Amino acid sequence: MRAHIVAALLVIGLSHAAPAYAHSKTQSVTPASGSILPSSPEEIVVTFNETARMTSAVVVSDGARDRKLEITPSGSAQSFTIQSPELGEGRNEIEWKALSKDGHVVSGSIIIVIDPGAEAVTAGEASGDHEHNGH
Amino acid sequence: MLDAFAVIARACVYLGLLTAAGSILSALTFGAPLTGNAILRVRLGAGVAMMAVIVGVLVLLARLGGALDPAIASAVLSGPTGYAAGLFIGSAVLMTIATILPQGLRAVVATLGGLTGLMGFAVNGHAAASGIAPAGLVLVHACLVAWWIGALFLLETACREREDGSLSDLLQRFTRQATLMVLSLYAVGGVLLVVLIEGEAQRLVSSYGLGLLLKLSAVGSVFALVLWNRLRLTPRIAAGDPQAAGALLRNVRIELALIAVVLTATAAWTTLTSPH
């Protein structure tokens, strides 16, 4: 039954074409995740390794309600700025989400501690991004 | 939970759109009019695809921080995801409209609609992000897979109607056309795989590789079926067994079911895993 053999070969061909997705990753975060600062930074800049669309950033602080932060630009870019995050004293976790170039959802978090009595300590390399699932 | 919805929605887009577009493309290559069951498949496939696209976009927006947030919706829909969704929905509308048009115009509008939808696979995803050439390969690949599904449905219909002459003729044409299709699918699939993993085989040693393994398991099931056909069914057909069409019908249905499994696995795989 040649028709069936051909059909089976088509299945193999289908499986061979399965795509491998490379999600966008953060290249740098300024100030870096893990930083301890005496006051809230004026801005937080998140830079990806390729163009993406950052869609949300929410700051989660101890004892405070989650607060949505403004991100610019709103469209496709490699670098995004969170203006005036107004982080409160203590531990702040900024959870962000983005649509990567290949259409997958990526997300991560940035932890910044605000301690008015501390010297500024910027973490070396801790962008804290992790890939979420696809779209 | 949202991830599961995303996978289901994507699988429904694959199944619906490829079935609808494939019914159109196969009717075109077999010179068969787009009537009867083919019309029903186009309408059903287009309807399922359209609903799945809408659900899929809403799920994506929710996963990005808010399904009802205009800013997020704008950011998403103004990019490749939005373009793909637009092409899928436009395709579904065109294909559905085509089914109520007069025969000549129907074929033209339906083909346009089918190709529009298949283009949707090429404008979003890693292949699209890799450049025009990989995106073009995805388009060709989607056309071939759609044709194959549509052709199997044609066979299924012919088996059910049990018109031995037309079934035999269709089988011959299917085999002839599918030979070209399978070679093309192999070539396109192989090149795509190399391009998408950027030639680095170690990327297959991951959850991505596990997904590939699952898909190949489904492919192995089809091979088992093929062996069974070769050993049991082919001699019966050659001997003019009147029940052979019934056996072929059963096997074609199993093949379609396996393709559905492969497409669903692909939806899960491409939604949930990455080689990186």
- 3-class state of residue A26 by DSSP: strand
Residue B24 pLDDT greater than 60, yes or no: yes
Residues of chain A with pLDDT under 50: 9-22, 125-135
Task: Please state whether beta strands A43-61 and A26-30 pair in parallel, antiparallel, or not at all (unpaired).
Answer: antiparallel
The whole-angstrom separation of Cα B119 and Cα B134 is 12
The more confident residue out of B126 and B247 is B247
CA dihedral B185, B186, B189, B193 (to 10 degrees): 180
From chain A, pick out residues whose CB is under 8 angstroms from the CB of B10.
Answer: 135
From chain B, pick out residues whose CB is under 8 angstroms from the CB of A3.
Answer: 155, 171, 174-175, 178
Tokens of A120: 């500024």
Which residue has tokens 């531990």? Answer: A91
From chain B, pick out residues whose CB is under 8 angstroms from the CB of A102.
Answer: 125-126, 128-129
- The pLDDT confidence band at residue B163, using thresholds 50, 70 and 90, is low
Task: Kindly report the CATH number that applies to the domain delimited by A23-133.
Answer: 2.60.40.1220
Q: Nearest CA to CA, how far is A118 from chain B (Å)?
A: 33
Which residues neighbour A7 within 8 Å (Cβ) at sequence distance 6 or greater?
B148, B152, B178, B222, B226, B255
Closest listed residue to residue B167, CA positions, set B154, B181, B180: B154
From chain B, pick out residues whose CB is under 8 angstroms from the CB of A19.
Answer: 125-127, 138, 192, 196, 270
The more confident residue out of B216 and B74 is B74
Q: What is the mean pLDDT of residues B27-43?
A: 90
For residue B158, the model assigns a pLDDT of: 80
Residue B36 pLDDT greater than 70, yes or no: yes
For residue B204, the model assigns a pLDDT of: 66
Average pLDDT, chain B: 83
- 3-class state of residue A106 by DSSP: strand
Q: Give the lowest-confidence range in A20-24, A128-132, B129-133, B181-185.
A: A128-132
DSSP letter (8 states) at residue B38: H
For residue B226, the model assigns a pLDDT of: 62
Q: Give the lowest-confidence range in B100-109, B140-149, B224-233.
A: B224-233
Start-to-end CA distance of chain A, whole Å, equals 40
Orientation angle between helical segments B103-123 and B132-161, nearest 10 degrees: 140
**Cβ separation of A15 and B215 shorter than 8 Å?**
yes
**One-letter identity of residue A133:** N
Q: Is A38:A117 a contact under the CB 8 Å cutoff?
A: yes
For residue A135, the model assigns a pLDDT of: 38
For residue B209, the model assigns a pLDDT of: 65
Interface contact B259, partner A, CB < 8 A = yes
Helix (H) or strand (E) holding B62: helix B36-63
Q: What is the mean pLDDT of residues B219-231?
A: 66
Q: What is the mean pLDDT of residues B32-58?
A: 93
The whole-angstrom separation of Cα B216 and Cα A89 is 54
- The pLDDT confidence band at residue B216, using thresholds 50, 70 and 90, is low
Q: Nearest CA to CA, how far is A17 from chain B (Å)?
A: 4
> pLDDT tens digits, residue range B48-94?
999 999 999 999 999 988 767 887 888 788 888 899 999 999 999 99
Closest listed residue to residue A68, CA positions, set A89, A51, A84: A84
Q: Nearest CA to CA, how far is B87 from chain A (Å)?
A: 15
Using CA coordinates, name the residue in chain B closest to A56.
B65
Q: Nearest CA to CA, how far is A29 from chain B (Å)?
A: 20
The more confident residue out of B12 and B159 is B12
For residue A134, the model assigns a pLDDT of: 37
Using CA coordinates, name the residue in chain B closest to A1.
B234
**Where are chain A's structural domains?**
23-133
For residue A45, the model assigns a pLDDT of: 94
The whole-angstrom separation of Cα B192 and Cα B79 is 23
Backbone φ and ψ for B211, nearest 5 degrees, come out as -60, -40
**Cβ separation of A17 and B188 shorter than 8 Å?**
yes
For residue B22, the model assigns a pLDDT of: 96
For residue B214, the model assigns a pLDDT of: 73
